[in-house]
Amino acid sequence: MKKFLLALAAILMVSGAFAQEHKHAIGLRLGNGAELQYEHHLNSDNFIKANLGLYGFGNSFFVTGTYNWNCFDWNWTPSVGRWFLNAGVGASLGAYAGGFQLGVAGDVAFGIKFKAPISLSLDYRPTIFLLHNSWGHGWGNICLACTYNF
């Protein structure tokens, strides 16, 4: 079974390396919590990102959706991949500290999209909650995200 999974992973990575443009990405965002992350690329400059996760590993449950723009691309390491800076804005909805939360979320990500269909980025997503008039997650929401692009 391990050999089969390893072969399947190798085939997916090789097939993704030859693809021109990936429309979707799925992965994990880890920091002061854990989130599942999904991205749908509308074109080469814009994409929608949805996250579902636990903040503080069990302290809250939330879903966040953002509309993001590809602000900059750098070709610093052409043999490895392309570096990027993305920024976006959206909304966050969930339960935090025993209450219902609704807020406005920002999103900034700096990372690299490798030649293999994997991206690695450092993300910052501050949230301002509207219902409880508080600053949500603050600096504690700096995370490392790893996605598989397909």
Spatial distance between the Cα atoms of 129 and 12, rounded to a whole number of angstroms:
40
User: Can you tell me whether residue 43 is helix, strand or coil?
Assistant: coil
Tokens of 32: 């002061």
pLDDT of residue 2: 59
pLDDT of residue 88: 98
Identify any residues that bridge with 110 across adjacent strands, giving them in sequence order.
85, 122
What pTM was computed for the model? 0.81
User: Which range of residues forms the domain containing residue 45?
Assistant: 2-149
pLDDT of residue 28: 97
Q: What domain count does the chain have?
A: 1
Output the domain CATH number for residue 123. 2.40.160.20
Q: Tens place of pLDDT for every residue, the chain, 150 residues?
A: 556 555 545 555 554 444 457 899 999 999 888 999 999 999 989 999 999 998 777 677 889 999 999 999 999 999 999 999 999 999 999 887 667 888 899 999 999 999 999 999 999 998 888 876 665 555 568 899 999 999
pLDDT of residue 16: 47
Spatial distance between the Cα atoms of 104 and 90, rounded to a whole number of angstroms:
6
Mention every residue, 6+ apart, whose C-beta is less than 8 A from residue 116.
Answer: 13, 16, 17
User: Can you tell me whether residue 3 is helix, strand or coil?
Assistant: helix
Tokens of 135: 């600053």
pLDDT of residue 17: 46
Residue the block writes with tokens 């920091």 = 31
Q: What DSSP designation does 7 have?
A: H
pLDDT of residue 67: 98
Quote the strand ranges of 32-140, DSSP E: 33-41, 46-55, 60-77, 81-96, 99-114, 118-124, 127-129, 134-136
Spatial distance between the Cα atoms of 111 and 11, rounded to a whole number of angstroms:
24
Q: Which of 64, 70, 56, 37 is nearest to 148 (CA)?
A: 37
pLDDT of residue 61: 86
